[in-house]
Structure 1
Amino acid sequence: MILAIDMGNTNTVAGGIDEQKTYFIERITTDQSRTDTEYAISFKNILEMNQISASSIEGAILSSVVPPLSNTILNAVEKVVGIRPFLVGAGMKTGLNILMDNPKAVGSDQIVDAVAASHEHPLPLIVIDMGTATTLCTVDKKGNYIGGVILPGLKVSLDSLSGKTAQLPYISLEVPDRIIGKNTIDCMRAGIIYGTVDMIDGILDRMEAELGESPTIISTGGLARFITPLCRHKIHYDDALLLKGLLILYRKNAPQALSFA
């Protein structure tokens, strides 16, 4: 089993995974003020909570979109399991041809998503990852990573709406029973949820037209399980997609990979 970690802007996902199964998936808050010792305690608690011994971890790999915290997480994992994780970055073997203006600037989470989806699903494909930002990345029928879309995440949009208006409250995210709300909270929920749903459907329509064929569509991320079932496109939800991608990258690079800290 390897320890696969995906550090996002809001949450850091840690999972234990091998080719047979995903043993656990846990989320902790991404906080730049925390030390490596504090993160080490979190990782130690996660392993203990899932009855996983540190000695059963054969390796570790980190994907990070928060560069200032990358070394902190690498040090934390090393303290707990005695292994320095690989860091997804430039020079790592991915199996993808990245056709972007600046391939090094592509978010590591998007590359990991694309690697995992390409391994499990027919091409071409689009991966929707709903986190702090919502991203849609595209792999063409030849296996090339050709780009995508980045837009504000659902909670970012909702927090902005509440924070910039005097009379709109901060609310929990729940799917309303109807689109026409009868009170302020239901109006906000309908707007933010169905607005996001229709935005994703609209972008998928445009992407499909640009590709010239129907792609396989996969979604992941904490919010995707609530949103993508409401879309009119057929979308396969996979909560462990990033962890699967990290396992694939670990196996591709384990004999010779270097940490890119």
Structure 2
Amino acid sequence: MLLAIDVGNTNITFAAFSGKSLVNEWRIATSGTRTAEEYGVWLSQSMALDDLKLIDIKDVIIGTVVPGALFNLKGMCKRYFGCTPLVIGEPNVDLGMTPQIDNPQEAGADRLVDAVAAHSKYGGPLIVLDFGTATTLDVVDEQGNYAGGIIAPGVNLSLDALHSAAAKLPRIAIEKPKQVIGKNTLECMQSGIFWGYISMIEGLINRIRDEYGLSLKTVATGGLASLFGRHTEYIDYIDKDLTLSGLVEIFHKNKV
């Protein structure tokens, strides 16, 4: 089996694949100080709950936006799987596309991987909208190349900033309010976050389409994609496993 590891700013997802079929996945909070042994023990116990073993893993691919976590994840691969992982961004890994931006090395691994997966599954050109720690909108051209994009504060990041900076504003859950005009603090915050992000997304997609010159379709991923996707016509596809699909796609491109 293949183990795909997606290291985000908030969580790390470990996903086991048989061929291109997902077997199971497990998540742990991202930490730059967790050791190779800690990863190995935790993963072994998590897999055991699903009747899987570390020896079932033969190959590993890693995409990370947290450089501090990479060293110990590589150490885990060497110690527990006896392999050297493919790592997105390293010279020996062919993405099958070329980032069309000023400094290709600046592009986050997750954004490049999402671009590969989105083009493979939905064609192009298109926009990839990722609801992560940051909210990103990225353009993938007709040939599947990453063509640049936009980075905005993530939804939860904005909520944390409101709660931390304003003494009287509580921490709230993200959900669609009953109406746009709030009648109390909770409703006002929910409306500002929910409809504020819907408006931002729709506005940015319109501006991207105007500048690019085409009516690009949009695929959304990330934990909040389903919630926001139900309430705007600007999102055409919702794909919660887009990044994992991209990692698997890139692995098979490089193992041919």
TM-score normalised to the size of structure 2? 0.93
1:105 and 1:139 mapped to 2: Cα distance?
A: 16
Query: Which segment drifts farther, 226-235 or 103-112?
Result: 226-235
Q: How many residues align?
A: 255
What SS does the aligned partner of 1:156 have? helix
1:92-171 to structure 2, matched below 5 A, reads 92-171=93-172
Match of 1:40 in 2: 40
- Equivalent residue letter for 2:109: S
Spell out, residue by residue over 1:214-260, the C-alpha distance to the aligned partner (whole angstroms, 9 max, x if none): 222111111222122222213211111111110111112236xxxxx
2:72 and 2:211 mapped to 1: Cα distance?
A: 41
Greater relative contact order structure (CA < 8 Å, 6+ sep): 1
Question: Gaps spanning 5+ residues in structure 2: where?
Answer: none
Q: 1:85 Cα deviation (Å)?
A: 1.8
Match of 1:27 in 2: 27
C-alpha distance 142-83 of structure 1, shift in aligned 2 (>3 A):
closer
2:200 and 2:167 mapped to 1: Cα distance?
A: 26
Match of 2:13 in 1: 13
Q: 1:175 Cα deviation (Å)?
A: 2.5
Q: 1:174 Cα deviation (Å)?
A: 2.5
Spell out, residue by residue over 1:74-121, the C-alpha distance to the aligned partner (whole angstroms, 9 max, x if none): 222443333332111142211112111011111010000000111111
Spell out, residue by residue over 1:42-64, the C-alpha distance to the aligned partner (whole angstroms, 9 max, x if none): 22122222222223222111101
Match of 1:84 in 2: 84
2:17 and 2:218 mapped to 1: Cα distance?
A: 23
Q: 1:122 Cα deviation (Å)?
A: 2.0
1:74 and 1:235 mapped to 2: Cα distance?
A: 37
2:208 and 2:135 mapped to 1: Cα distance?
A: 15
Match of 2:56 in 1: 56
TM-score normalised to the size of structure 1? 0.92
2:62 and 2:22 mapped to 1: Cα distance?
A: 16
2:109 and 2:229 mapped to 1: Cα distance?
A: 23
Q: Check conservation: 2:116, 2:144, Cα contact below 8 A.
A: no
1:186-225 to structure 2, matched below 5 A, reads 186-225=187-226
Cα RMSD (Å) = 1.6
C-alpha distance 149-123 of structure 1, shift in aligned 2 (>3 A):
same
C-alpha distance 180-26 of structure 1, shift in aligned 2 (>3 A):
farther
- Equivalent residue letter for 1:182: K
2:218 and 2:19 mapped to 1: Cα distance?
A: 23
Q: % of aligned pairs identical?
A: 38
- Equivalent residue letter for 1:47: M
1:25 and 1:195 mapped to 2: Cα distance?
A: 32
Question: Gaps spanning 5+ residues in structure 1: where?
Answer: 256-261
